Amino acid sequence: MSRNVMYAILSAILIVLLIAFLLPTFVPSQQPRTSTTPNITSTTSAAPVEFKPNKYGWFDSVVFFAEPDHAKAVEMLIKGDMDAYFIDISEPDLYRKIKQSPELAYDLSFGLFYDLTFNPVGPTFKTGELNPFSNKKIREAMNYIIDRDYIVNEIMGGLAMPKFVPFVKLLPEGQRYLDVINNIESKYAYDFEKGKAIIESEMKKMGAELVGGKWYYNGKPVTLHFIIRVEDARRAIGDYISNQLEKLGFTVDRMYKTSREASPLWYKGDPAEGKWHLYTGGWITTAVTRDDSDNFQYYYTPDSSEATSPLWRAYNPDPEFRDIANKLAMKQFKTLEERDQMMRKALWMAIEDSVRVWIVDQTAVWARRKGINLVADYAAGYAAASWAFTANKGKVGGTARISSAEVIIDPWNPAGPNAGASNWIYDMMIYGYALTDSAFLLHPQTGMAIPLNVKSVYMEVVKGTPTHQNEESKNWLTLKWVDSVKVPPDAWASWDVKGQRMVTAEEANVTEAKVKFVVNYGPVLGKVAYH
């Protein structure tokens, strides 16, 4: 799935925090191009290439096709049957082959990660089967059962880092809270016997019996239905975790499935039906983000933007954790110190909840032919929104042949995942990025906003609001600190679902706001169709 960082368009303009994590900048070019936006320099195994984002795209056409076999995809790249592969390469032997090929170039990214997603319904399903993972303490104990170092070294071939929290360790929030993350990693380090003791104690409390080294419930073996994805390293990860679960005394039903086969079960299906207990999840951070405070709400609560999924609606976090998660997501804090305290507490509460146990952050390899220029987003690699505006062969025009593991898994809808459309990155990279227009593009290396369809922005902010203007935005953004921001009485404040109408600020008794934006889009009225 994609972890779509749902910025409101203008929230990408300003950065909530001063970032201590240094990110590279791009160097202006003297060569005229097709856009007035800043240049981006590719960071690649080949010679770096500098070019501007083109808001209309560089190619006349882009052909997408599915090729799930990584080895075959690399061969197609070498032969010239494919220009770029929009799926990360995780196999060390293929990485070596790419590095050795004179035809190919590669880039690295750090925003892909794997988790173990649990079905939290219980203590029993509608079938009467026991669900051990409805027990919060058993989910938490699974952190001790998984040897992440083994997975990094033996399965991922070193192209990963152990992961314990919902932040990517090498991206801004991960660096900001490195002290907390290190403490969590120390406390929850691999300790099979410790995890086993906790799970045995909790299983007995749930009414299960351990007979001859096997767990039984109501006279039947406790069978865990485990959905294991087959397209990448998650197959081997799933087999390893299955072995660990069997050592604990569980019977494991290994359900090997592709994304297309798995989605109707874990994402769209009713978790109470008991068709699955756990799933090898894969996620991608779709941009370099400097504020991930919404991750707790997104991954752990029924208030998530993923609440269209029955699984998310089944989440029942501790009330305090849910409250903190929602406050962070809604930016309901008065100072950066208050935010910091909530973030630190939420990190600990997240691993105690563990509806998903994080496994690894990948060091992802992205492969392409040297004839095509692509910028790998530090988080998302080639599969980021920037590809549609930056992919080129040195000139405007021509065709690119790009492959992904899948094409069209779930329905496409320009209104996006919140309208029930596909949230799979395989789909989003096409309909979400190439077939929609945006006011801003996030810089693939710094996360800063790049205006694509905006001339200028004027912004009023109430004094004391925790925000900061970055140097990169000063040529198009004017920031003014004010004592108050008055809301016009006829402004839209909310949507009345029952009445099917907009509620005005006057009706909602909303008189003041923290921020006011005035955006100059240029002469778009009557020229640009939005629906």
Q: Is the pLDDT score of 420 beyond 70? A: no
Q: Enter the tokens of residue 517.
A: 């934006």
Q: Which of 80-89, 441-450, 493-502, 510-519 has the lowest mean pLDDT?
A: 441-450
Q: Is the pLDDT score of 291 beyond 50? A: yes
Q: Where are the domains of the chain?
A: 2-104+367-451, 112-288+354-362, 456-520
Q: What are the phi and psi torsion angles at 358 (to 5°)? A: -75, 140
Q: Which of 245-259, 291-305, 403-417 has the lowest mean pLDDT?
A: 403-417
Q: Partners of 310 in the beta sheet?
A: none
The pLDDT of 375-383, averaged and rounded, is: 88
What is the pLDDT at residue 30? 27
Predicted confidence band of residue 493 (pLDDT cuts 50, 70, 90): very high
What is the pLDDT at residue 9? 31
Average pLDDT, the chain: 88
Contacts of 208 (CB under 8 A, 6+ apart): 130, 132, 215, 216, 217, 222
d(CA 81, CA 103): 12
What is the pLDDT at residue 29? 28
Q: Over the stretch 155-212, which tens digit does the pLDDT of each residue have? A: 999 999 999 999 999 889 999 999 999 999 999 999 999 999 999 999 999 999 999 9
Helix%, strand%, coil% for the chain, nearest 5: 30, 25, 45
DSSP for 147-159, please give it.
-HHHIIIIISTT-
DSSP for 217-266, please give it.
ETTEE-EEEEEEE-SSTHHHHHHHHHHHHHHTT-EEEEEEE-HHHHHHHH
Selection from 245, 292, 279 nearest residue 114 by Cα = 279
Torsion of CA 352, 294, 118, 192, to 10 degrees: -40
Predicted confidence band of residue 16 (pLDDT cuts 50, 70, 90): very low
What is the pLDDT at residue 409? 80
What is the pLDDT at residue 215? 98
Percent of the chain's residues with pLDDT above 70: 89
Selection from 79, 78, 76 nearest residue 65 by Cα = 76
Selection from 303, 305, 24, 20 nearest residue 173 by Cα = 20
The pLDDT of 353-377, averaged and rounded, is: 94
Give the amino acid at 110.
F
Q: Over the stretch 365-376, which tens digit does the pLDDT of each residue have? A: 999 999 999 988
Cβ–Cβ contacts within 10 Å for residue 447, how many? Answer: 23
Cβ–Cβ contacts within 10 Å for residue 330, how many? Answer: 12
CATH number of 112-288+354-362: 3.10.105.10
Give the amino acid at 515.
V
d(CA 243, CA 247): 6
Query: Do strands 456-462 and 477-482 pair parallel, antiparallel, or not at all (unpaired)?
Result: parallel
What is the pLDDT at residue 45? 58
d(CA 206, CA 368): 52
Q: Which residues of 66-89 are buried (b: 16+ CB within 10 A; e: fewer)?
A: ebbebeebbebbbeeebbbbbbbb
Q: Over the stretch 435-463, which tens digit does the pLDDT of each residue have? A: 888 888 888 888 888 898 899 999 999 99
DSSP for 331-388, please give it.
T--SSHHHHHHHHHHHHHHHHHH-SEEEEEEE-EEEEEETTSB---BTTTBTSSTTHH
- Find the largest Cα–Cα distance for the chain: 76
Predicted confidence band of residue 12 (pLDDT cuts 50, 70, 90): very low
Q: Is the pLDDT score of 145 beyond 50? A: yes
Q: Over the stretch 20-29, which tens digit does the pLDDT of each residue have? A: 222 333 222 2
Predicted confidence band of residue 40 (pLDDT cuts 50, 70, 90): very low
What is the pLDDT at residue 20? 29
